[in-house]
Amino acid sequence: MQRVKDVITRGIEHVAGTATVQEAAELMAEKDIGLLAVSNGESANGVITDRDIVVRCLASEKDPRTTAVQQCMTTGIAAVSEDADVAEAGQIMKERQIRRLMVTDGNGVLTGVASLGDLATGCQDDHLRAEVLEQVSRE
């Protein structure tokens, strides 16, 4: 059984919920990433993605220079333990129709993110890899 911790991207970047969307976008561009954990204090209470910025900020004609990240972020984020089986992570993504899954340690601390791509390239289960690749190709 392959564990989620074997395929994840570690070192997820954080941004404060009070930061502006412009600041979040600049950090994404600087780090060449499409997702930031949003935290107000010690724990993440949401994420903001490049898609959130486009759909929830720009398309809604909000000014990214003055709009706070917390106004455009995704809440109710799905998470899985880093000790969970890769197949379980894939199943959660499939059921929730999401492309990224937050990964936590035994204490609930965010340790990374698992993307469909991470599962596809890191998975040793051929059947699961085929399902993940099919999902990626639809997007």
| pLDDT score of 91 | 85
User: How many separate domains does the chain show?
Assistant: 1
Alpha-carbon distance of 67 to 12, in angstroms, equals: 23
Cβ-Cβ contacts under 8 Å for 39 (sequence gap 6 or more): 14, 15, 16, 17, 45
CATH code assigned at 64:
3.10.580.10
- pLDDT tens track for 31-76: 999 999 998 766 678 999 999 999 999 999 999 999 999 999 999 8
Q: If you search the block for the tokens 């390239």, which residue do you land on?
A: 121
- What is the domain range of residue 120? 4-138
Taking residues 90-114, report their average pLDDT: 87
Predicted TM-score (pTM) of the model is 0.77
